[in-house]
Structure 1
Amino acid sequence: MADLDRQASETGSLKLMLYFMPVFGIIPALWSLNSETSTRTERNASRVAVKLALTWFASYMLFDIGAQNIDALHLPLLLTSSLITSGYFVMNLWLVILLWQRKSIDVPLLGKVDRLD
């Protein structure tokens, strides 16, 4: 019986890790938000993943548009855009590591995901 609980917990943990896969993880996260069978923890993780991806995408696009339209700030805006993208990937990696360690996730302004047991 304990083996089945451990296996179910690992499956849930892998599913949550999938949500934090950079760029492509938004698809299963959105699917989980629309699913009636998803747990509260899955929905919270999905919300954090979607907010994080949309924040990254919006800021990336704003800096890219600024770099195209303002010649004097072209290089600094592209550099900032690349730093934001790198930060997005590192943040997702950090969140996956926290899930792997079975710790709770609390990202300011984005949300909280309770610890998996």
Structure 2
Amino acid sequence: METGEKVPIPKTQLILHLIPVIGFFPSLWVVYRHQASREQLAVSRLSITLAFTWLSSYLLLATGAATSEFFTLRLLILNSFFTSGYFLVSIWLVVRVLQGKSYRLPGMSSLAERIFRK
């Protein structure tokens, strides 16, 4: 395939990358191989950034809840909010891709581009 060709990406491939937790692995493969369309790379970068943000927040809050005596319940509730938010945002992005709308998130998409810039 030449670099100037525009090949439409099936929505199912983009949706696969946006599935919470599971979509991280195909996204990582796409970014590692760097042989995909610009749109697929952008969705993969966003998926990886969302997953790493959620995982790091999850681990930090779980560690804080395990070591704290006073804030345990509050940290566990906050942890559940972060987890629910990650899943809701991922499902919302899947719906937007199905509708043919933009998959970009303000702040997160630009952060993903900056992190994975070569």
The count of aligned residue pairs is: 104
Q: 4+ runs of 1 displaced by more than 3 Å?
A: none
Write 1 or 2 for the structure with the bigger share of strand.
Answer: 1
Partner of 1:25: 23
Q: Any stretches of 5+ residues in structure 2 without a counterpart? A: 1-6, 111-118
- Out of 54, 57, 66, the position equivalent to 2:55 is 57
SS of residue matched to 2:104:
strand
How big is the alpha-carbon RMSD for the aligned residues of Structure 1 and Structure 2? 1.4
* Amino acid in the other structure paired with 1:71: E
In the alignment, which residue of structure 2 is the partner of 1:103?
A: 101
Deviation at 1:73, TM superposition (A): 0.3
What runs of 5+ residues in structure 1 fail to find an aligned partner? 1-7, 113-117
Give the superposition deviation at 1:24: 1.0
Which of 32, 35, 39 is residue 34 of structure 1 equivalent to? 32
Taking the aligned partners of 1:46 and 1:107, their CA distance within structure 2 comes to: 13
Equivalent positions of 1:85-104 (< 5 A) are 85-104=83-102
Q: TM-score, normalised by structure 1?
A: 0.83
User: What do residues 74-115 of structure 1 show as CA deviations (whole Å, max 9, x unaligned)?
Assistant: 000000001110110000000000000010122122117xxx
TM-score by structure 2 length?
0.83
